[in-house]
Structure 1
C-alpha cells in the first residue's frame, strides 16, 4: 500500500483493499497516506470517499476496564461504539488497537463476548511502531500475540491462578475459537518460545494449559499433518532452560499436566506422536531425557513406539538411551514393559554400545555413571552380555561395537556385590573367565572396593564357573596379580592367603609361549616382607625364576627378563629409608631360606658375605639427603636390629663414610 501511495496508483490500491479481509486489518490508511505521501492526490481522494477508520474515541483508554456489560451492549446498539473499532495511542510506541483485543487485554472477557455476538471481526491484530531517535517513527509491525485468539490464550496463561477469571475466559475461548475458525484465522501463527512460529494451540501446549488445549482440540478438529501436526507434541516439552538437569527440575511438577495434554493431542487428526525432530528427538525420547515418567507412560499407552523411530534420511534418538542418561530406573522399566529391546544397540560418539554397556558406564563420552539398579532391571528382563550383536544397519561399516565387557565394569563399581555378578553370569550369559577375576583384583588395587568385598566377588565368580587356576596370556595367574599390585597395608596378604586356601599353586603357572609370572618374584619386587613370608610358608621356591617387565632404552620399549626373587629385590629402586629397610628385610629373609641372586643353581650367599649389600648399596640406593646411606639407615628406628648390626660389621669403613648417590631432578 505504501507503494501505491508513492506512485499514486489508485487502481492498485483498490485491488489490494478488495482482497478478502485486508480492508479491516489495516486501519488509519488516510492518515498514513497524508503523512507519508501528501502528493498522492488520487489515493487520498479515494480514501476520503471510502470513509475513516471506525474509532472508539468517545471512550477513554480506561473505559474498557470500568464500563458495565449492559452499558457496553447499549453503546453498540446505538452505534456509539462499532464492533470493528480501532484506537490509536502514542507514547514511546504508536499503537493501533482493535477494540476486541483491547478488552481481552484488560481482562474484560464479558465485553469480548458481547463483541463476538455482535459480529466483531477476529481476523485482526494490533499494530505498533516505535518512536525512534529524533522523534521519528519506525516501520509498523504486527504486534504479538497477533490475533484475539492468540491474545486470549496468553491472557488465560497469566490468569491461571485466578479461578473465576480463568473460568470466564474458557467460556469466551470456545466462542472465539469457533469465530476464528469461521474467519479462517484459527491457525494463524505468532513467534513462539522455540525457534519458529506457533498457533494458538501451539501456544497453549507451551503454556501446558490442559483446559485450553482441550477446547482448542475440540474446536479445531484437525491440523496440517506435515507441519503443525509434527510440532505440537514437542511444544508440550518446551523449556526456557538449556541445561538438562535444570530442565528436569523445571518439569518435575508439570509431568501430570504434560501427560494430560498429550492425551488431548492424540484426539486431534494430523498429530504425529512419533514425530522426529531435527535434533533426532521424538516426544518419547524427550520425555525420557527430562525424566517425565507419567508422560512416558501416557505416550506408550497411546501407541508410541518404545524404540528408535526411523524416518527417511534420519533415525531418532533411543528412548532407552535417554532414560539411561537420566538414570531413571522407573522409566527404563516402563520402556521394557512396553516391549523395548533390552539388547538394543546405540551409536554414540562414533561407537556402538549395547544397552547393558551403557548402564554400566562404558559410554564415557555420554558421561553416564555406572548404575547397579539399572543393570539389574535390564538383566532381569533379558539383557545379555554378548558382544556379537551388530550395530544399527544404518551405521553398518561406519562404527564398531564396543568390546568392553559389562561384567568387567560391574566388577569395579563400589555398589557391586556377589548377587550382581551372579546375575551377570547366570542371566546375562557373561563369561567369568574372561578377565573378571583379575578385574576384581584391579578394583581392590585401585581402592574402588575393599579386600572383603573383593574376596566376596571372587567367590561369586568362582561359583558361577570361574577358574581359580586360569593363567592369562601374559603368564599371570590370580595369585601373581595380587602379589604384583601395591594395595593398602595387609590387603595383599589377606587376598593371597584366601587364594592359597582355595588351592592356587604358590608358584603360579605357565602362560602362552611358556611365559611364567612367579608370585614370589612379584612380592619380592615390591619388598613386601609379610607377603614374601606368607608365600615361603606355603612352600614357595626361593629360587624360582619368573618373568619381569623392564623399560627398554627406546621410548615405549618394554622388555621381559627372567629373574629370581633375590635378584629382583636387590635391583629395586629405593626412594626412602622405609623402602630401603623393607628391601633389606626381604633380602635377608630370602638369603635365610637359601635364595640365590641369579636363581641359576649357584650356591646360596654365605651369611657372612656382604657382596650383595655392596651391590645393592652402590647401584640401587637413591635417597634424598647428602649423608652416607649407612647413616640414613641407622637413623631409621625400625632398622635397628641384628640385620643392621651384620651390615655394619661386614662393610669397609670407607664404604660407611661415603656419601650416597643423590639423584637431582633438574
Structure 2
C-alpha cells in the first residue's frame, strides 16, 4: 500500500495500491510465501461473510503484506469502518507502519475520519505518526479538510506547527492550499503560526492566494497574517495573486491593506496588471484607493529597433500606462473607468507607441473605436517606423475576420496602408510572414483600389 501526497501543490491525494497478486509466488521469499493474507483479501473484496468467518477462526489480525500493510490499514484505506472497528476489537495493532510510513492514523487522517481517529487513539495509536517523508497526520487531515479530525489529533498530542522536512510546509499551509477556510480558522485557534514560512518562503496566505480562496485569505488576514510579507523574490501576496490572474484573491488582500504601490519584477504596478487582466471590479477598487491611472512601466533597456517596435511586435515596450494595457487586451469598460479616473490618452510609450497603436495590436473593433475616439491619429509613427497598420495585422487572440475589421476601419479613416518601417517591412510583409492570409488579401485589395501596387507583394 502506498499513498502519495506531495504537499499542497498536488491537486489531489493520489492513492496507489500495491498488492502481491501480480507477483509469481516463486519470485517471493519464503517468509512472504507463507504469509496468511486471507484476511487482507477479504477486506479488499469487501467480503463481510468471509471476513467474519476468518475472525471467528481467530486468524492473525496483524498478518501483513510484504510491504507491511495490515488488514486494519486496508480497512481504513477503503473506508470500511465496521471492519476496522472489528479488527481493533480483536486485537489489531493500531501503530503498524508499512514501508512508506503509512499508519492507521495517517490513513484515517487522509479520509478525514475523526471518529475512527478517536477509536485508534483509544487503542493506543500515536498521533505523532508521520509518513516516511515527514508528513504528519495533522497535516494530512488538514489537507483533507476535516477540522474535527485535526482537533482529535491535536487534542491527543498532534503538533499543530510541525513542518515536513523537505519543504518545511505546515498543516496550516496544507489547509490554505486546499481552500479549507474552516480548517484554517480551526488550526489558528489551536495555535498554528499564521505567518510561518515554507522553505521557499511561502506563507499560508500565499498558498491561499494561489488557491484563489477568498474565505481562507480573509480568515488569515483577520487572524493577523501580514498582507505585505514578501517572498524571497520580492513578490507580495497581491503580486502573486496577479501573477496567477486570481483577481478574487487580489481583491481580498487589497481589502485588508495590501500596499498598492508595489511593482512586479517587470515593473508593472497592480493597476497595470489588473487593467491587462480586465477585472473592472479590481480596477475600480484600486482607483478608489488612489492608484495612479497614469503610472508608467519602466523604460526598456533594449536598443531602439531591437524588438521590432510597437506592441505585439516581439516584446513589451517601455513606459506603457494602464490605459494602453487595457486597450491592447480589449477591455473597453476598464478603459472607460481609467479615463474617468484621469487617465491621459495622449501619453505615448517610450518608442512613441500611442494608445491607438496599442489598441490596434489586440483590440476588437468595438474597443478599437473607443480608442479612436480618445486618440484619432491613425498615422502615428514610432521610433522604429511602425504605424497602427503595422501592428493591426497581428492576431493576438483575435480571429482573422476581427483583424480585418480593424484594418478596414483604419483604411476608412485615412490610414496609410503600405509604409515601410525601419526594418524595411510593410504591413503586408508582416501579415504574410505570420501568416494572416485574410489581412494580406484585404490590404492587397485596398492598395489596388487606391490605384497602387504593394511595395512588397505577398510571397504566396
Normalised by the length of structure 1, the TM-score is 0.43
Structure 2 distance, partners of 1:102, 1:556, is 72
The two structures, once aligned, show a CA RMSD in angstroms of 5.3
Q: Say whether the 8 Å CA contact 2:297–2:319 is kept in structure 1.
A: no
Report how far residue 295 of structure 1 moved: 2.0
Look up the match of 2:338. 424
Matched, 1:290 2:217: no
Counterpart check, 1:405 vs 2:313: no
Q: Is the 8 A contact 1:87 1:97 kept in 2?
A: no
Per the alignment, residue 301 of structure 1 pairs with 222
- Partner of residue 348 from structure 2, selected from 435, 438, 446: 435
Indicate yes or no: 2:96 matched with 1:125. Answer: yes
Deviation of 1:200 after TM superposition, in Å, equals 1.7
Once the two structures are TM-superposed, the CA of residue 101 in structure 1 deviates from its matched residue by: 6.1
Which of 240, 244, 250 is the equivalent residue of 1:332?
250
Q: 2:450 aligns with which of 574, 578, 582?
A: 582
Match of residue 129 from structure 2: 188
Q: CA deviation at 1:336?
A: 1.0
* Number of the residue aligned with 2:310: none
Closer/same/farther in 2, CA of residues 421 and 199 from structure 1, 3 Å limit: closer
Structure-2 change in CA distance of 1:143 and 1:354 (3 Å): same
Q: Which residue of 1 aligns with 2:183?
A: 261
C-alpha contact 2:328 2:362 (8 A) present in aligned 1: no
2:270 maps to 1:323: no
CA deviation string 1:30-67 (max 9, x = no partner)? xxxxx99xxxxxxxxxxxxxxxxxx9x9xx98899428
Aligned counterpart, 1:503: none
- Which one has a bigger Cα radius of gyration? 1
Q: Structure 1 regions of 5+ residues with no counterpart?
A: 1-34, 37-54, 127-141, 161-165, 239-250, 362-368, 391-399, 463-467, 497-521, 527-547, 558-574, 585-619, 624-662
Match of 2:174 among 214, 235, 238: 235
Aligned to 2:397: none
Take 1:285 and 1:300, find their aligned partners in 2: how far apart are those partners? 11
2:119 pairs with one of 167, 172, 180: 172
1:66 maps onto 2:66 in alignment: no
Contact 2:129–2:136 (Cα < 8 Å) also in 1: yes
Q: TM-score, normalised by structure 2?
A: 0.59
Secondary structure, counterpart of 2:267 in structure 1:
strand
Query: 1:630 matched to which residue of 2?
Result: none
- Which residue in the other structure is 2:193 paired with? 272
Verify the 8 A CA contact 2:175 2:183 in the aligned structure 1.
yes
Higher relative contact order (CA 8 A, sep 6+): 2
Unaligned runs of 5+ in 2: 1-29, 43-47, 299-315, 394-405, 426-442
SS of aligned partner of 2:96: coil
Q: Against the structure 1 CA distance between its residues 401 and 344, is the aligned structure 2 distance closer, same or farther, given a 3 Å change threshold?
A: farther
Report the CA distance between 1:169 and its aligned residue: 2.3
CA offset digits 1:491-516 (Å, max 9, x no partner): 555x57xxxxxxxxxxxxxxxxxxxx
1:175-574 equivalences in 2 (<5 Å): 175-176=122-123, 179-180=124-125, 185-191=126-132, 196-220=133-157, 222-223=159-160, 230-236=169-175, 255=179, 258-269=180-191, 271-309=192-230, 314-315=232-233, 317-347=235-265, 351-361=266-276, 369-385=277-293, 387=295, 403-417=319-333, 420-421=334-335, 423-425=337-339, 427=341, 430-435=343-348, 439-442=354-357, 445-446=360-361, 448-450=363-365, 454=368, 456-457=370-371, 459=373, 488-489=407-408, 492-493=411-412, 495=413
Q: Which position in structure 2 is the counterpart of 1:246?
A: none
8 Å CA contact 2:138, 2:158 repeated in 1: no
Number of aligned pairs? 363
